[in-house]
Amino acid sequence: MIQGKVPALFWLSTVLAGLSIILVVSNGLLFLSNQESQATINRRQQFINQSVQLGRVNEALVRTLATVAANNKDDQLRDLLAQHGITFQVAPADGQAPATASGKK
């Protein structure tokens, strides 16, 4: 009777050991896949953050160029901005407010 249980326990423990090895390997593969996905997401987030920062710099640059073009009555600079879809209006002289630019985003 004990002899009949030994082979059954042996095979049961062997199958369970095999299943545990399969689970460990699949867990490792899932970990690597998740790590790769997280790296991709981090790169995309970094790109988005840098794009926002560059957008602010771009806006400041356009405002400065529009102000310079308006203050110096620089038609070449005004035409260059207009070629890129950026137009601006000069505020009245008594307010002395800087030129406001608008254009493509």
Residues 6+ apart with CB under 8 A from 84: 103, 104
56 alpha carbon, distance to own chain's centre: 16
- Predicted confidence (pLDDT) per residue in 1-44, tens digit: 456 678 889 999 999 999 999 999 999 999 999 999 999 999 99
Distance (Å, whole) CA 91 – CA 89: 6
- Predicted confidence (pLDDT) per residue in 30-79, tens digit: 999 999 999 999 999 999 999 999 999 999 999 999 999 999 988 999 99
Residues 6+ apart with CB under 8 A from 78: 69, 70, 88
Nearest to 66 by CA among 50, 45, 81, 46: 81
Quote the number of domains for the chain: 1
Give the range of the structural domain holding residue 42, as residue numbers without chain letter.
2-102
